[in-house]
Structure 1
């Protein structure tokens, strides 16, 4: 009895004698002596070529076998994306691979991961199948990104999503916010020219224009804060307290001008600045309140005297006109009489005659006595 082996259409056989590879067997039926040391390993040609316990190089001497295989060598610094009939099949890391080229068409994209950025020809739909092999970075619409390879700055990145291979090159993306930002200085103690110590609350708005420059400065925000502090100390130290309180707007204009002299150095544009509060020591505040109260009292007294003088002058002018014009005097009497009548309910007059005659008589007697 012979030992019969049948190889199907979608299979290939590898003939071994005493454990050593002999040749490739095509589909068909093969017979071997029952006690011979001939063995056949069957491989499915729809799957990658692999023989357990055997290195691929042992089979590459067979030219007929090699004609039916795609042999791929992937170096340490490479990835190979393997596609079968146009569909992604696998990501091949460093090593040797072989695929049967009989039933399926195999294509490959070879990438050098020493250049970490994923090439444009890799469809984003494939990325979920590559998880663990790449890393992604997001740059927001209001941000600018700066790309680093092994801590060396490469270029600026606009808004978007970026993908990089995990490999020998360490990749980092640092983002910079390009929106308007605010720097607050709160409770900063300063001394005026007349040795008054006060606390100042100051605010400044700015926008980063040069992200690369901003990232080159260590402790970027802290350095700008110190610069603002120095400018304020310089300005406040040249003014007396009274002048400082009168010139709050001038402080903002001066500081903004000086900051913009440093704008290129920091890669920013300073937009606005202003004093929020000037906080005085308690004793100085009490003194200023006392002075303010005295000033207000003096102003009130001055206004009262002016009103009294104006009233007296008005009375004097009225009296002079009435003395010179009897008709005006008579009209004034009637005005006062009208006001008296508004205040009383009834008027009783004695003697004969009607009411109008008695009033005329009363006014006439008063005018004569006057």
Structure 2
């Protein structure tokens, strides 16, 4: 019995008799006698040869197989890259793979993972854009620095460029840090400082502070960080470090106040947790307490202290003239008349330290004492006395409050009652009293004027009786008034006869 086999030009075949390997067949036609012959063909467009029992065949037919096949064998600590044509594949450890030679150019490269996990640069360029199993690629930009970690342990820094690392049975990670940010978040800074001094010395600036030191870090002249005592911090090289001893007073110089407090909001936010800041306005004074103890007075301006190792409290006292109002005080006068009074007082603080140390609440103290003084001043006078002399209340209250505040460094400038409010029924009674008084005064004035008018008329009559000329002038005056009320008058006779007739008519 004959069997004929045809191998196409793009194929290759392996001839078996029963299960025994006989030979590799190139493209062509083959005829064999017997029924137990068989041929397995492989498409050369798929260069990897997936041959059954390859390991066993290599033991018995290695020479013939190596002539037609590229054999790739990897140990437990090896990986391989295989290129066929323009394509690449990776071969993990403990693998046996075969690729046909001749139809497509095939080559392979073996890498020892014990020596290095990094793929050489020339291969990184060749496999750019190709996804390979077991290979992780990283791109470090020109403004970045990469930190290579294997199994979470730092290995080395990576400069800008392309990298590939085998990740077979190992965790490989690259953490990128910006080089344009001088204070990035270095991972596990203490570990880097302790375990990798070469990296730190080459790339970084280390700041390590004692318990009485703070540090100001600047980059290109701008403050980028403020470090508290006992800090340890990494920065990229190129920063400027100023270390300040705060073992004494801890107060900032005017230059630092201008740089850290009155500068930009970004810098102020950096110093927010490091400084105690107090602004004392003009015509005010500040009191500084350190660890609950008074230290000194503060002049107008902006003051700042490092808060580390101390507690700071500051009080700002207004030295200008201030007013306090005591309103709606219901008080009985000496004659039991209920009154409501409003009082205002002006005061200024002369000695801020005495006032603050002696009084916990200056305004509350003044308000209470003014209440007491007002009640005492009003309660010892009758309503009439209060209404006649309201200034007496002011003087009494002023004398009382000045005596009370003298020991606390407070000067009372003025005290005055603004309003005395009477009950409605008292207002009505007082209105009637005033109305009666005014009516009586008006009656007296009227009687006085009538008496004066009668006396004047009597004096005039006596003058006319003794002086005919004056009488005649009076008659002419009367004639003039009458003539003002008559449109036309006809005179017959002399002026004497007219006056005589007028007098006679008047008497009738």
Using structure 2 for the length normalisation, give the TM-score.
Answer: 0.53
Cα distance in 2, alignment partners of residues 221 and 304 from structure 1: 57
Pairing 1:76–2:211 present: yes
Root mean square deviation, CA, Å: 3.8
Secondary structure in 2 matching 1:345: coil
Q: Does residue 1:124 correspond to 2:254, yes or no?
A: no
Residue 324 (structure 1) aligned with residue 466 (structure 2): yes
Change (3 A) 1:95 1:214: same
Of 434, 445, 457 in structure 2, the residue corresponding to residue 303 of structure 1 is: 445
C-alpha distance after superposition, 1:105-149 (max 9, x if no partner): 987433226744224574733562852422322111132221122
The equivalent of 1:361 in structure 2 is 497
SS in 2 for 1:79: strand
Label 1:346 to 1:109 Cα distance change in 2 as closer, same or farther (>3 A): same
Q: Secondary structure at the match of 1:239?
A: coil
SS of the aligned residue for 2:317 comes to strand
Name the larger-Rg structure: 2
User: Does 1:214 pair with 2:214?
Assistant: no
Does residue 1:151 correspond to 2:265, yes or no? no
Aligned length: 313
> 2: distance between equivalents of 1:291 and 1:318?
41
CA distance in 2, matches of 1:213, 1:192: 36
Partner of 1:285: 427
**2:320 aligned partner:** 179
Q: Is the 8 A contact 2:323 2:344 kept in 1?
A: yes
Quick one: structure 1 residues 99 and 206, their matched pair in 2 at CA, closer, same or farther if it must change by over 3 Å? closer
What is the alpha-carbon distance in structure 1 between the residues aligned to residue 239 and residue 327 of structure 2?
70
Give me the whole-angstrom Cα distance separating, in 1, the residues matched to 2:387 and 2:342: 13
Greater mean alpha carbon deviation, residues 77-86 or residues 187-196: 77-86
**How far apart, CA to CA, are the structure 1 residues paired with 2:504 and 2:190?**
148
1:39 alignment partner in structure 2? none
Matches of 2:478 and 2:219 in 1, distance apart? 118
Partner of residue 339 from structure 1, selected from 473, 481, 484: 481
Partner of 1:168, secondary structure, is coil
Q: How much has 1:259 moved relative to structure 2?
A: 2.3
Kept in 1: contact 2:332–2:338 (CA 8 A): yes
Please say which of residues 220-229 and 295-304 is displaced more in the overlay: 220-229
Structure 1 residue 360 displacement after superposition: 2.1
- Contact 1:185/1:203 (<8 A) preserved: yes
Query: Please, which of 295, 299, 304 is the counterpart of residue 163 of structure 1?
Result: 304
Decide which moves more: 169-178 or 182-191: 169-178
Q: 1:197 touches 1:280 (CA, 8 Å); kept in 2?
A: yes
Q: 1:197 aligns with which of 331, 338, 352?
A: 338
Specify whether residues 296 and 148 from structure 1 end up closer, same or farther in structure 2 by C-alpha distance, changes over 3 A only: same
**TM-fit CA distance, 1:79:** 1.4
Query: Structure 1 stretch 326-335 or stretch 206-215: which is displaced more?
Result: 206-215
Instruction: Specify the SS of the correspondent of 1:53.
Output: helix
Aligned to 2:27: none
The change in CA–CA distance for 1:165 and 1:215 in structure 2 (over 3 A counts) is same
Q: Which runs of 5+ in 1 are unaligned?
A: 4-46, 60-65, 350-354
The alignment's TM-score, normalised by the length of structure 1, stands at: 0.71
1:81 shift after superposition: 4.0
**Cα distance in 2, alignment partners of residues 123 and 192 from structure 1:** 59
SS at match of 2:478: helix
Q: Residues 215 and 241 of structure 2 are in contact (CA less than 8 Å); yes or no, is this contact kept in structure 1?
A: no
Instruction: State the Cα distance separating 1:96 from its structure 2 match.
Output: 5.7
1:77·1:114 contact (CA, 8 Å) conserved in 2? no
More relative contact order in 1 or in 2 (CA 8 Å, sep 6+)? 1
Could you list the per-position Cα deviations for residues 209-236 of structure 1 after superposition, in whole angstroms to 9, with x for gaps in the alignment? 2222222212211111111111122221
> Cα deviation per residue 1:316-347 (whole Å; 9 max; x = unaligned)?
11111111211111111111011111110112
For 1:80-99, list aligned pairs within 5 A.
80-81=215-216, 91-93=226-228, 94-95=230-231
Which of 377, 380, 387 is residue 238 of structure 1 equivalent to?
380
Distance 1:322 1:164, change over 3 A: same
Partner of 2:243: 109
Q: Is the 8 A contact 1:82 1:89 kept in 2?
A: yes
Is the contact between residue 186 and residue 201 of structure 1 (CA under 8 Å) also seen in structure 2? yes
Residues 266-288 of structure 1 show CA distances to partners (whole Å, capped at 9, x for unaligned) of 32211112111111112211111
